[in-house]
């Protein structure tokens, strides 16, 4: 049965949850009765936020650090094509957002002095990363879920697939949502929809992202004419644990901040040959350095060397990583950790203005799916959770300040064609697409490889249109269509970017 609500939130990561909490708290404080429907494709706990190890970049020590240093590091990492106004806003609001998180129950590691235990990561000029051991994202996700569940106005819906945004005459009317357990679909009408649907890492075979990160929000937005840019800026994390695990296990950048050194098969500290910051250069530089070493050495991975470090201190700082390495038989006093780049973070996405609004009235976006202008050509480590918090706050301010329009929905008609891909073929095609993207649209691309990707994606899209039309949505098939859509956006925008900058690199 179709229904109407005041606010729809699509996504249960830090962006969607913090927005819902703020909105619910505002309504409670002003004795307003509102309804907030929050939908997640998997369970509420599953999102990219959960997998973030490093932490949140936020200036705390104003004797050594400053907002200007953080701003300059962000601009430098982004190759100076960031929106400086947004960079300044995000960096300067960090203190207020961190204070809110602590009020909501988030615990960050502290030293014996009582001050925050600030880590340093690639591209940062100072120690400014707040963290909770090496599971910051998981602790943050859990704290936000505990908080959001205290509000009756927020209804949490797990295992609901959002196939399309409802748009008519440039205005958002809600979304078409399918309960994956019953496979029943319904229109949920609202004049305010927030896309907080996360990234696109699962379009690649080798990724640190969960399997649900298939770019659904970006594909939906693209279908209704929302502007999408910056898709050529896919960040590959330099140090994912090498192996067959999907998603790849992340070895946090903070490990290098702790003192670990990247070495090649000949035990050389090779990063210093590419950048004076060596292993702590920005991620685009380190990933390309590793890619070059792999090609020269004809190997599949390099090593993170920790043998010179105090292993007991390392274990205390990174218990999750230590346990993982131990489980696969690595003795970190003797063995290096085998690592290689993996698709990690989207720096582009849905274009929003300084208020979080898209070009469709009533449709907003924040978090990884949104292109706010903060990251430019490359994301500075641990700026993502900060961006999600600050920009969710901006969207919240927009939500409480706009005048809601009562939109007539009874006469609206939406014609959406569904197709069903045969189950065995579907898995084959998804894997084909993911392997193609990992092999040809990786850290360093070639013109020949890009043309091959484009041709294959055109064929896959054409094939999809030949599959049986069905009256009810097959979520897995529609997700595959979203993956094709996102991959084509990446491919097109890679070709449109004419010069190498940041994460975009085509070998001559």
Residues annotated as catalytic are: 283
In this structure, are residues 435 and 485 in contact, taking their beta carbons and an 8 Å threshold? no
In this structure, are residues 441 and 449 in contact, taking their beta carbons and an 8 Å threshold? yes
Rounded to the nearest 5 degrees, what angle is found at the Cα of 476, between the Cα atoms of 426 and 18?
140
Rounded CA gap, 165 and 419, in Å?
A: 18
State residue 221 phi and psi, 5-degree precision.
-65, -40
State residue 461 phi and psi, 5-degree precision.
-65, -40
Pairing of strands 302-305, 261-263: antiparallel
User: What are 415's two structure tokens?
Assistant: 């014609």
Closest C-alpha to 58, from 389, 383, 395: 383
Identify the residue whose tokens are 């959406």: 416
No. of helices (H) and no. of strands (E), the chain: 14, 20
N- to C-terminal Cα separation, the chain: 56
Rounded CA gap, 12 and 197, in Å?
A: 8
Q: What is the DSSP secondary-structure string of 455-487?
A: HHHHHHHHHHTTSEEESS--HHHHHHHHHHHHH
Rounded CA gap, 211 and 401, in Å?
A: 36
Rounded to the nearest 5 degrees, what angle is found at the Cα of 507, between the Cα atoms of 502 and 508?
120
User: What are 293's two structure tokens?
Assistant: 């070493």
Chain centre distance of CA 283: 15
Q: In 3-state terms, what secondary structure has residue 188?
A: strand
* H-helix segments, 298-379: 311-317, 319-327
What b-and-e string marks burial along 183-220, b requiring 16 or more CB atoms within 10 Å of the CB?
A: eebebbbbbbbbbbbbbbbbbbbbbbbbebbbbbbbbb
Residues in contact with 96: Cβ distance below 8 Å, sequence separation at least 6, in sequence order: none
What is each CA distance from 140 to 300, 381, 465, in whole angstroms? 33, 17, 41
Dihedral of alpha carbons 148, 149, 152, 153, sign = positive
- The count of other CB atoms within 10 Å of the CB of residue 169 is 7
In this structure, are residues 359 and 227 in contact, taking their beta carbons and an 8 Å threshold? yes
């Amino acid at each position: 049965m179709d229904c109407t609500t005041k606010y729809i939130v699509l996504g249960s990561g830090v962006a969607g949850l913090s927005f819902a909490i703020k909105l619910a708290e505002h309504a409670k404080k002003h004795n307003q009765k509102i309804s907030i429907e929050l939908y997640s494709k998997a369970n509420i706990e599953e999102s990219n936020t959960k997998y973030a190890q490093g932490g949140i970049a936020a200036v705390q020590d104003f004797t050594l650090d400053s907002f200007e240093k953080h701003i300059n590091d962000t601009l430098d990492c982004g190759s100076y094509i960031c929106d400086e106004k947004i960079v300044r806003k995000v960096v300067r609001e960090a203190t207020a957002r961190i204070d809110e998180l602590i009020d909501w129950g988030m615990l960050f590691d502290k030293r014996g002095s009582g001050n925050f235990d600030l880590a340093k990561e690639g591209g940062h000029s100072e120690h400014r990363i707040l963290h909770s051991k090496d599971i910051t994202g998981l602790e943050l996700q859990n704290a936000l879920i505990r908080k959001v569940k205290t509000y009756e106005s927020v209804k949490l819906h797990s295992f609901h697939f959002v196939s399309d945004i409802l748009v008519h005459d440039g205005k958002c009317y809600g979304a078409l949502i399918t309960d994956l357990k019953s496979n029943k679909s319904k229109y949920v009408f609202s004049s305010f929809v927030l896309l907080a649907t996360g990234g696109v890492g699962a379009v690649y075979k080798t990724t640190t992202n969960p399997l649900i990160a298939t770019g659904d929000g970006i594909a939906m937005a693209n279908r209704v004419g929302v502007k999408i840019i910056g898709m050529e800026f896919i960040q590959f994390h330099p140090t994912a644990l090498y192996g067959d695990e999907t998603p790849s296990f992340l070895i946090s950048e903070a490990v290098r901040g702790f003192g670990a050194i990247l070495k090649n098969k000949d035990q050389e500290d090779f990063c210093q040959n590419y950048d004076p910051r060596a292993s702590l250069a920005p991620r685009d530089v380190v990933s390309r350095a590793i890619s070059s070493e792999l090609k020269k050495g004809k190997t599949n991975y390099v090593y993170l060397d920790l043998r010179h470090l105090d292993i007991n201190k390392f274990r205390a700082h990174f218990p999750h990583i230590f346990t993982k390495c131990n489980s696969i038989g690595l003795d970190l006093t003797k063995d290096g950790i085998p690592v290689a780049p993996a698709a990690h973070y989207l720096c582009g996405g849905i274009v929003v203005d300084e208020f979080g609004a898209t070009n469709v009235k009533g449709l907003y976006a924040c978090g990884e799916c949104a292109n706010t202008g903060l990251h430019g050509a490359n994301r500075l480590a641990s700026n993502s959770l900060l961006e999600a918090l600050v920009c969710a706050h901006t969207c919240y301010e927009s939500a409480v300040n706009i005048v809601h329009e009562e939109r007539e929905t009874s006469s609206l008609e939406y014609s959406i064609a569904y197709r069903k891909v045969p189950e065995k073929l579907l898995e084959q095609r998804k894997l084909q697409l993911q392997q193609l993207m990992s092999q040809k649209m990786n850290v360093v691309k070639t013109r020949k490889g890009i043309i091959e990707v484009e041709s294959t994606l055109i064929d896959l899209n054409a094939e999809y249109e030949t599959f049986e039309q069905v009256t009810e949505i097959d979520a897995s098939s529609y997700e595959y269509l979203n993956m094709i859509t996102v991959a084509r956006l990446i491919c097109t925008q890679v070709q449109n970017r004419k010069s190498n900058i940041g994460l975009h690199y085509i070998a001559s």
